[in-house]
Amino acid sequence: MEPSITLTRKEQVIRMAAELFREKGYAASSMRDLAQKLGIEAASLYSHIKSKEEILQNLCFDMAAEFRKSLEEVEKQKGPASEKLRKGIIGHIQVMAKDLTASAVFMNEHRHLSQPYLRQFLLLRINYINRFKDIIEEGINSSEFKESIDKKLAVMTLFSSLNWMPQWYDPKSNIVPEGLGQQLSDMLVNGLKKPKA
Amino acid sequence: MEPSITLTRKEQVIRMAAELFREKGYAASSMRDLAQKLGIEAASLYSHIKSKEEILQNLCFDMAAEFRKSLEEVEKQKGPASEKLRKGIIGHIQVMAKDLTASAVFMNEHRHLSQPYLRQFLLLRINYINRFKDIIEEGINSSEFKESIDKKLAVMTLFSSLNWMPQWYDPKSNIVPEGLGQQLSDMLVNGLKKPKA
DNA sequence: CCTACCGATCGGTAGG
DNA sequence: CCTACCGATCGGTAGG
């Protein structure tokens, strides 16, 4: 028996909502738009979900859990900081690539969460970012990275780049998530400049 | 006579709108919210602006013009690609730093422009990005940069990083736009890794 | 999953 | 810049 690929109706609603939120943004997406995409009446949505925001909560926190899980795997491993960084980047891209639509929503629409969810979400995010910062710091302490680098700038550059990918990365292109992660980490670690021959 | 720093009422409306759009997003910001920030009635806004979207158009296209102007200055200059890149980055950051609020709106809310404005805006943006890509290509052709680098990835990483800055850059911090641009371009060109001694 | 409907709020206009 | 107001649309509920 292979695992079922049948989505529950609730999951279907959430998937369709993710597409809609990605296209138009959360606030500009109406429950009537969503219902239409599913071929039902707006009122019928509420048999599956409690509210519009519950959908956003599901999308944001599910993605956050995936990112966290991926990073935890990387942290367990031994090796130089540059290697950990590379693996963390590849893991992040792999998680995104599994669902670019949800990733885009996670990234662009989380601010429409109400309290206390928003606060919770931001705590998860800052924790995740800080763990990448720790990897960079580790590389500085071990003299693998320059001591002159600005850790905050480095980690924000990395994050910006990762988070922006859903906007331009085409999963149907030849480049596979591992390859993209490899190239990004190579660029950040080694730079654009040709080493002196 | 020093130049007047008095804003027309229309400019005041647009400034306040920028703050509102940045905080809550365009779609979630109501004209009544905006009126309240200005201490007037919603209907009174329409003596100064034609529509909610006109405000967004002003914000997006004014910023786009500033970015364009900055890049044109850089393109006129001679020098190696890494130097042009550095100047382009610093210029971009300086433009953003002059109005971080408008920059954030430019970056996050332009998709709410209606046609044909949206199309126009996206053309300006792709043009701007391509001109940075040309600088990178110039560096590859002159053997200053590695031929193995993925131009698209490089330019998207740069752009992601620049565009994300309004979300974390604190203009009251010690680091001045030139310094930030210098560090970012150094990181991208030379990488995180310590050169072999 | 539907019909029928609610109160609230939206962007915007008329007329002063 | 205000009062008064418009039609449209919003998220969501009642009851089946």
pLDDT digits (tens, 9 = 90+) for A55-74: 999 999 999 999 999 999 99
pLDDT tens for A152-197 read 999 999 999 999 999 999 988 889 999 999 999 999 999 999 887 6
What the block records as the tokens of B146 is: 């590695």
> In this predicted structure, what is the pLDDT of residue B123?
98
**pLDDT value of position A25:** 98
CB B180 within 8 A of CB A179: no
Domain-embedded: residue B38? no
Mean pLDDT of chain B: 95
Write out residues whose CB is closer than 7 A to strand C: A 9, 35, 38-41, 43-44, 47-48; B 29-33, 42-43, 46-47, 50-53
What is the pLDDT, as a whole number, of residue A4?
60
- How far is it, in rounded angstroms, from Cα B153 to Cα B136? 11
The SS3 call for residue B145 is strand
Through-space separation of residue B44 CA and nucleotide D5 C1' in angstroms: 14
In a domain, A116, yes or no: yes
3-state DSSP call for residue B193? Answer: strand
User: Does residue A39 belong to any structural domain of this protein?
Assistant: no
Half-sphere exposure of A122 (CA within 13 A, CB side): 9
b/e sequence A62-76, b meaning 16+ C-beta within 10 Å: ebbebbeebbeebee
pLDDT at position A3 is 52
Who among B25, B149, B160 is closest to A160 (CB)? Answer: B160
Q: What is the pLDDT of residues A108-156, one digit of tens each?
A: 999 999 999 999 999 999 999 999 999 999 999 999 999 999 999 999 9
pLDDT value of residue B43: 98
Q: Please indicate whether residue B196 or residue B17 has the higher confidence score (pLDDT).
A: B17
Distances (CA, A) of A164 to A31, A119, B37, B163: 27, 22, 32, 9
The secondary structure of A50-92 as a DSSP string is S-HHHHHHHHHHHHHHHHHHHHHHHHH--S-HHHHHHHHHHHH
Among partner residues A111, A139, A168, which is closest to B192 by beta-carbon distance? A139
CB contact under 8 A, B112 and A194: no
A151, closest residue in chain B (CA to CA) = B192
Calculate mean pLDDT across residues A93-98.
97
Among all strands, which nt has the closest C1' to B50 (CA)? C12
Q: How many domains, chain A? A: 1
Question: Which of residues B1 and B147 earns the better pLDDT score?
Answer: B147
Beta-carbon separation of B193 and A157 below 8 A: no
State whether the beta carbon of B47 lies below 7 angstroms from any atom of strand D.
yes
Q: Is B182 on the interface with A (CB under 8 A)?
A: no
B4 by DSSP, 3-state: which?
A: coil
CA of A44 to C1' of C5 (A): 14
Examine the pLDDT at B3 and tell me if it is beyond 60.
no
Q: What percent of chain B has pLDDT over 90?
A: 91
Q: Is residue B72 part of a domain?
A: yes
Contact A190 B188 (CB under 8 A): no
| Residue B45: inside a domain | no
For residue B159, the distance in angstroms to the closest alpha carbon of chain A comes to: 8
Mean pLDDT score of chain A, rounded to an integer?
95
pLDDT of res. B2 = 52
Identity of the residue in A27, A180, A190 whose CB atom sits nearest the CB atom of B193: A190
Q: What is the pLDDT of residue A112?
A: 98
Contact B25, A111 (CB under 8 A): yes
Task: Identify the CA nearest to A124 among candidates A51, A63, A52, A173.
Answer: A63
Q: Report pLDDT for A195.
A: 84
* Candidate from A28, A136, A139 with C-beta closest to B27: A28
The confidence score (pLDDT) of residue B197 equals 60
- Domain presence at residue B164: yes
Whether residue B161 and residue A160 make contact (CB cut-off 8 A), yes or no, is yes
How far, in Å, are A132, A134, B42, B149, B178 from residue A150 at the CA level?
13, 13, 46, 23, 14
Using alpha carbons, select from A78, A90, A83, A105 the residue that is nearest to residue A167. A105
User: Is the previous residue joined to A177 through a cis bond, with omega within 30 degrees of 0?
Assistant: no
Tell whether B18 is covered by a domain.
no
Say how many C-beta atoms besides its own lie within 10 A of residue B41's C-beta.
11
- Residue B145, phi then psi, degrees to nearest 5: -105, 155
**Is there a contact between B70 and B24 (Cβ–Cβ < 8 Å)?**
no
Residue of A66, A88, A62 lying closest to A75 (CA atoms): A88
| A37, B73, B95, B140 from B76: Cα distances, Å | 50, 6, 18, 19
pLDDT digits (tens, 9 = 90+) for B121-175: 999 999 999 999 999 999 999 999 999 999 999 999 999 999 999 999 998 888 9
Residue A92 CA to residue A177 CA, distance in Å, equals 9
Residue B193 sits at φ, ψ, to 5 deg, of -70, 145
The 10s digit of each residue's pLDDT in A17-38 is 999 999 999 999 999 999 999 9
Residue ranges of B 78-107 with Cβ closer than 8 A to chain A: 82
pTM of the predicted model, to two decimals? 0.94
Domain range enclosing B114: 52-190
- Indicate if the pLDDT at residue A2 is higher than 80: no
Q: Which nucleotides of D are covered by protein (CB under 7 A)?
A: 1-5, 9-16
pLDDT score for B174: 86
pLDDT of residue A174: 86
Does the beta carbon of A122 lie under 8 angstroms from any beta carbon of chain B? Answer: no
Residue B12 has pLDDT above 90, yes or no: yes
At B4 the pLDDT is 61
> Any idea what the CATH number is for the domain that residue B162 is in?
1.10.357.10
Interchain contact B154–A (C-beta under 8 A):
yes
**Inter-chain CB proximity B143 and A25 less than 8 Å:** no
How confident is the model over B31-54, as a mean pLDDT? 98
Task: Assess if residue A136 is contained within a domain.
Answer: yes
